[in-house]
Amino acid sequence: MSQRHIDIFFKEFPWLREYFDQRRDGFTNIKASRADLKLLGTRVGPGGFLGIFTSKPKKMFLFNQKGQRLLEVRPRESLEEALLRMSGDEQAYYVVVPELTRDTESGNLVASLVIYKPPTDYTLTSWFARMDEAKVHREIEDTDDTRIK
């Protein structure tokens, strides 16, 4: 990823500079993704040297829409559990995950920053609640369909 691309992300999310430093943290890739139910169940893995060989993120941070850090997801805690322990007044909007992955071509370790966000007009909490409702409705419909057959 080019330095220009990274600079564009810092321009879109200027608050990231308060928490992550490209030189200090050594990341060479930044991407934004849509939050989904898979993310909700993601657990933070153990830290330390052996932790780099797991597929679980080592750290996960929740931010509000203004970019203020609300909390860090605890080791072995899921994102859903972290959202449940937040106070009712706090509204998480972004999940930021620093990742360390192995480049498939070179085999080198690559540090990345992934920013997960909900669709427009939602917070993470309201988006996950809506997705969960839709999942329950699909399960009910599937149950009703199997009864009819």
What predicted TM-score, i.e. pTM, was given to this entire model?
Answer: 0.79
Of residues 142 and 81, more confidently modeled:
81
Q: Quick one: which of 31, 36, 37, 1 has its CA closest to 16?
A: 31
| 98-134 pLDDT tens trace | 887 777 888 888 888 999 999 888 888 888 888 777 7
| 46-100 pLDDT tens trace | 754 444 445 567 889 999 999 999 999 999 999 989 998 887 777 899 999 988 7
